[in-house]
Amino acid sequence: MELIRPSIEYRASFLEAVREYRADGKPIRFDFDMAESDFPRFVKELNEHAEGLHMPEDYVPETIFWLVDGGEYIGQINIRHYLNGHLLTIGGHIGYDIRPSRRNRGYGTKQLQMVLPKAKELGIDRVLVTCDVSNVGSRKIIEHGGGFLENQVPNPDTGEDKLRFWINL
């Protein structure tokens, strides 16, 4: 199991995972059509997010890692290099997901543990990680990663409160 930067090597399992997310009803925040039609370009643009390229105007640079195991895409974890107002309140430094067919197997906990040293390398000494109040699995992942709960805040985007955790690196 390892964290890697997005790679064309994992095209088939990545697209398979995206189909799982769609079937699960999870919104996808990237251009799935481009991923299907021009995967090398799609991967290049994901990797350029670390320089702040190919991102909506209100987004901050983020380094994206894919968790792979046995040659298969398992999930994604992103480190946002700094916090804007929205990220400080709702989104946090780190966002992650595990494909639906691989959830509840410890991958989320391992992925978070593996990315924390990479956040430190980016000069972040303390990371904010958030989750929906109803997402018990994500809360457990964050707590296993050393997160301590600061507070619960309303999320005007979804109507469901967010829990805000800090992890000292």
List domains and CATH numbers for the chain: 2-168 (3.40.630.30)
Q: Give the separation between CA 154 and CA 156, rounded to whole angstroms.
A: 6
Helix axes 107-121, 136-144, angle to 10 degrees: 50
State residue 45's pLDDT score: 93
Q: Which of 73, 134, 143, 144 is nearest to 102 (CA)?
A: 73
Q: Which of 163, 96, 100, 158 is CA-nearest to residue 135? A: 163
Q: What is the pLDDT of residue 133?
A: 97
Q: Residue ranges of the chain with pLDDT lower than 70?
A: 27-28
Which pLDDT score is estimated for 55? 84
CA angle in degrees (0–180, nearest 5) for 31-44-169: 95
What is the structure's pLDDT at 21?
86
Q: How far apart are the C-alpha atoms of 123 and 98, rounded to whole Å?
A: 26
Q: What is the pLDDT of residue 146?
A: 96
SS3 (DSSP) at 55: coil
Q: What is the pLDDT of residue 111?
A: 97
Separation CA 91–CA 72 (nearest Å): 27
C-alpha angle 88-106-108 in degrees, rounded to nearest 5 = 25
The residue assigned the tokens 């298969």 is 72
Q: How far apart are CA 13 and CA 149, in angstroms?
A: 35
Q: Is the dihedral of CA 86, 88, 89, 95 positive or negative?
A: positive
pLDDT at 35: 86
Alpha carbon separation from 120 to 93, 124, 157 (Å, rounded)? 12, 5, 30
